Structure 1
Amino acid sequence: MPVEIFMVVGFLLAAYSVVANDSIQTLGTFLSSNSHRPWWVLWMFGSSILLVVLLYGWFVNDGDAAYGRLDAFPLPPGGVSWIHVIPPLALLVLTRLGVPVSTTFLVLTLFAVTGGAPGNLGSMLIKSALGYVVAFTTAIILFLLVFKRLSEYFHRTREAQIPSYWVVLQWASTGFLWSQWLIQDLANIFVYLPREVPGSWLLFGILALVAMQGYIFYQFGGEIQKIVTSKTDTTDIRAATIIDFIYGMVLLVFKEASDMPMSTTWVFLGILAGREFALSTFLADTDARATTRKVLSDAGKAFAGLVVSIVLAFGMPWLAQTLFG
């Protein structure tokens, strides 16, 4: 089978997996708090930002749609092969099971190994772990010291009519977060294409991503969305606005720190975990032990995804060598 076929299949599988898994971790609170709106309105909003980010990055970076995130990830000497299609396929299965696995580790680790740069795994792991710690700590500090009274007020008035200006604030914070997430995670999709993406491939990618995003929006998030809605008051547009802004700021800081890809999933889980722990200290109807169980469950799933990523990254080349020499 020609290399181009594997590129297309890998790209499409990775695109759907990333849209269905990681993007919901970015847009999940937005979908939760806007579930009363037509899905296509939300889809048009998200797709317009996707289009701007992709085109801007492609033009400014001389055809690099991944914003330099793939500079340390050369294409394998033999090109994209069947083994590179396996990680996004595994990600599809894990997504259907509602596992918040990191697409960064699952997809990019194999390219790092087959491209002759296995050390990138350690760099991604360190940056991602630091991202979790920073997100977790930031959320705890902000929700305990800055947003405590505000969170209590949101919780008390969660059934009340919300002022319309919160809608504007939330859509603005979501747009900011969505753009920062795309800059980080587009590498997980475009890793299957040439590092300088031809215009025809870019058009193909845009059409595929917009269509897939429409399907996910139509489903209002699918299985991964349950992780978001299980957290305290995430369907409240005001709480969602604050979560999105914090998430976006953390991603912005790490984007400026280095071009090495990181797991946005770990940042996402860190923010939700820190917020849940903070809320459990002052909201009467939240249980600290239940919060701990939820946080550990999410972390356990993310760790399981990391293990799968490492096994695939080092096991698939060995399997290919064993079977085909």
Structure 2
Amino acid sequence: MPKTKNKQINSSRFRELIYQFFDIFKEERKFIIITAFLFLLAGVIYPFPEVAMWFGFVLAAYSAVSNDSIQTIGTFIASNAERKWYVLWLYIGGIFLVTVTVGWWINSGDVTYGRLQATDDNGVLAFPQPNEFAFLQIAAPVFLLVLTRLRMPVSTTFLLLSSFAVSPGAVASVIGKSINAYFLAFGLGLIVWLSISRFTAKYFKGKASKKWIVAQWITSGILWSVWIMQDAANIAIYLPRTLDTLQFIGFSAVVFLGLGLIFYLKGDKIQDIVNEKSEVRDIRSATIIDFVYALILVYKLFVSVIPMSTTWVFIGLLGGRELGFRIREKVKSKSKKKRIKEAFAMIGKDLGLATIGLVISVIIATSVNPEFKNQILELFE
């Protein structure tokens, strides 16, 4: 009798899984069809460098910005949800155009502010300009689209740049700088919100004044500009290291239009990662988050030209903020313990999802570059 019941239970669970699968497929069928088509197209295009270069760039431009939108414009979108999407787009898009134009002009055609000019320990370019492409290099942005759809805040720096790295040392430098920045952001977030969370809980009530609105727009604009200086390398990795005028116009137009789509979709599903955090919809709290984040990026911008995962900085900052916020809450002892446990669970989830992206990026890098793979294997011998 027990065996029969177990079989019935297992059969019921199996049917539930089947139904869930079909429900997901029904809900996401358009996205699944589009990504399948993009993978197929990547397989057809990658042997043709000139075409593959622009195809990979277009995919990287949208996938990188849409995944990383939660870091820079996520709080901006959340706290300005009542405003017209095209107003937000024109503001953020305008800052993008100014930032990349200045970089392109003063750096003689380099829109990455020197990030793709970084060298490894042997003085060799860490991410040289590719003359030909592997399938996984072109398909990497499609993987990023899928992970973004699954609401995973993966590092676009790891996922996109790693497949172009010439040595494990180049990737190790990026990882080291990113992990260091994670702990810096976590510690700073914890200290800041331990200090101000009770103040914000007491005084950040009701409708924000116009001064806060102005402050948030200025802060978000500065953060967005600094983020571009850090992460433009992730999407320009497919293109020549110096762009001529026509190439620059193409680069700028693609990203600008992609931003429009992101604002039209209000950040899409990955925006939930920001929305689930405490008080981010309050424009005053969002302003403080953006200000602290911008300070960290500005500091790291001048430390070295080695690319860095801004995703890890962001989840570190939000993690430290959330923990500090919940430690300082005025609630009963049992409730506080529960709230702190929830904060640690949220921190662990975000860090785990980001780690998945790191693992996938290393797998892609070792699959694309045989020399990279051999050097990785030598480390374990």
Q: TM-score, normalised by structure 1?
A: 0.93
Give 3-state SS (helix, strand or coil) of 2:116's partner: coil
Q: Which residue of structure 1 lines up, in the alignment, with residue 108 of structure 2?
A: 62
- Asked if residue 108 in structure 1 is aligned to residue 161 in structure 2, the reply is yes
Q: Which residue of structure 2 lines up, in the alignment, with residue 85 of structure 1?
A: 138
1-structure distance, mates of 2:199, 2:302 = 30
How far the C-alpha of 1:199 sits from its partner, in A, is: 1.2
1-structure distance, mates of 2:284, 2:58 = 35
Q: Which has the higher helix share?
A: 2
Identify if the C-alpha distance between structure 1 residues 209 and 154 changes in structure 2 by more than 3 Å, giving closer, same or farther: farther
How far the C-alpha of 1:86 sits from its partner, in A, is: 1.9
* RMSD, aligned α-carbons: 1.6
1-structure distance, mates of 2:207, 2:74 = 22
1-structure distance, mates of 2:328, 2:191 = 13
How far the C-alpha of 1:223 sits from its partner, in A, is: 1.4
Q: Is the 8 A contact 2:279 2:285 kept in 1?
A: yes
2-structure distance, mates of 1:105, 1:288 = 30
How far the C-alpha of 1:154 sits from its partner, in A, is: 4.7
User: Comparing both chains, which one has the higher relative contact order based on Cα–Cα distances under 8 Å and sequence gaps of 6 or more?
Assistant: 1
Q: Which residue of structure 2 lines up, in the alignment, with residue 294 of structure 1?
A: 346
Cα offsets for 1:217-274 (capped at 9, x unmatched): 0111011110000000000000000000000010000000000000000000011000
Q: Which residue of structure 2 lines up, in the alignment, with residue 149 of structure 1?
A: 198
- Work out the percentage of aligned pairs sharing the same amino acid: 42
What residue ranges of structure 1 are gaps of 5+ in the alignment? none
Give 3-state SS (helix, strand or coil) of 2:269's partner: coil
1:101 alignment partner AA: V
Identify if the C-alpha distance between structure 1 residues 154 and 292 changes in structure 2 by more than 3 Å, giving closer, same or farther: farther
Pick aligned residue for 2:357 from 305, 308, 313: 305
Q: Which residue of structure 1 lines up, in the alignment, with residue 36 of structure 2?
A: none
Q: Is the 8 A contact 2:88 2:263 kept in 1?
A: yes
- Asked if residue 314 in structure 1 is aligned to residue 360 in structure 2, the reply is no
Q: Based on CA coordinates, which of the two structures has the bigger radius of gyration?
A: 2
How far the C-alpha of 1:281 sits from its partner, in A, is: 0.8
- Asked if residue 253 in structure 1 is aligned to residue 299 in structure 2, the reply is yes
Give 3-state SS (helix, strand or coil) of 2:281's partner: coil
Q: Which residue of structure 1 lines up, in the alignment, with residue 261 of structure 2?
A: 215
How far the C-alpha of 1:24 sits from its partner, in A, is: 2.8
Pick aligned residue for 2:57 from 6, 11, 14: 11
Q: Is the 8 A contact 2:198 2:328 kept in 1?
A: no
Give 3-state SS (helix, strand or coil) of 2:98's partner: helix
What residue ranges of structure 2 are gaps of 5+ in the alignment? 1-46, 119-126, 374-381
